[in-house]
Amino acid sequence: MSENLVRFGILGCANIARKVSRAIRLSRNATLWAIGSRSIDKAARFAAENGFPASAKVYGSYEAVLDDADVDAVYVPLPTSLHVRWAVAAAERRKHLLLEKPVALNAAELDTILAACEANGVQYMDATMWMHHPRTARMRQFLDDPRRFGPLKSVHSIFCYNPGPEFHNNDIRVTPDLDALGALGDTGWYCIRAILWANDYQLPEKVTALREVKYNEAGVILSCAASLSWADGKISTFYCSFLTNLTMDITCAGTDGNLRLHDFVIPFQENLAHFYTTSESRFAELSLGVVPLPSEHAVTTELPQEALMVSEFARLAADIERNGAKPEKKWPTISRKTQLVVDAVRASIERGFEPVEVGN
């Protein structure tokens, strides 16, 4: 490891890797060190187009990135079906692992990845970027306030977008041998994470998928929805889709307040994000309105959320390498809980929309 910077290698030239490459450049404790692709020409073109320093290594294979002793950490944006192979290979070469979501096709695959990370003492984190925006911490403060919000009762989350014919014909996210989870793994991952986050990562007792699932001709999910229930009476729902106009909403309802936002996955503005709260709401006289009016909260950030993600991941990796710290267990824990709920939704669909108990 260099004196001040965690050196990143990237496996593959996926479109999302362009955004993360920029995030690594913006981070103050990380640097772009290597890019690997099955085509060295493609890797060289990616490096040139995405601001890699002239000293960056360009490789014609993923193996070469992992074999580079100077690479401290890898970002893996490969198709989900390839995650087990390359994530485990990275961990076994003691590369800290930033893994694109969905992280695996099922919890058994993820357990294999996490076991390799633990055995080799490397940091694991999934690339769910909104978790790192300062707005997320501010919203958590409101949800934890017994006076303004009270006990949580329900969460509803939606993430959908309609990317058009080119996506539906060619994207890996609708190709069964590359990303078999489809919209459930892509947009549904975010919805489920939002619900778990609001519930302080307490897993639901049961999950029931709703019947109106849409598939493409290859049998990949294009849209689905589900309800989640807890033993203490809490209920949550989500809807995820590749067939509906861009929507990124969370609504949290408590006994004494509620929280709303409309851009939880990617803020409408890179350096400014909003959320809305109300407490002790009631109908106005003659039900001519509602009082009090919602409060709008604005949260600014110097760095975009993806750069904050990279910075936090690099901080954890550097602490391990320089100070002998143990990997932070928060990130693999919440990643696994998210995957367990994804698995339960898929199982409910496959079992004819029956309620499915969430595993451990």
Give the position of tokens 């694109």.
Answer: 100
What does the alpha-carbon distance between residue 313 and residue 291 come to, in Å, rounded to a whole number?
Answer: 43
What is the torsional sign of CA 8, 12, 16, 18? positive
Preceding omega of 146 cis (within 30 degrees of 0):
no
User: Running DSSP on this structure, what letter comes out for residue 300?
Assistant: E
CA 209, CA 270: separation in Å to the nearest integer? Answer: 34
CA distances for 316 relative to 20, 95, 309, 327, angstroms: 17, 13, 11, 7
By the 8 A CB rule, do 206 and 235 touch?
A: no
What whole-number distance in Å separates Cα of residue 204 and Cα of residue 228?
6
Cα maximum dimension of the chain: 72
Q: Is 101 a catalytic residue?
A: yes
Q: Kindly tell me the burial class for residue 183, based on how many C-beta atoms sit within 10 Å of its own C-beta (0-12, 13-18, 19 or more).
A: buried
242: which residues sit within 8 A by CB, 6+ positions away?
160, 161, 162, 163, 167, 168, 173, 174, 182, 183, 186, 187, 222, 223
From CA 12, how far away is CA 98, in angstroms rounded?
Answer: 13
Pairing mode of beta strands 124-126, 96-99: parallel
Residue among 95, 101, 234, 337 flagged as catalytic: 101
Strands 73-76, 235-241: pairing kind:
unpaired
Q: Within the chain, where are the H helices?
A: 15-26, 40-49, 62-67, 83-92, 107-119, 134-143, 165-170, 182-198, 305-323, 330-350
- Token readout for 295 is 């409060």
Which are the catalytic amino acids?
101
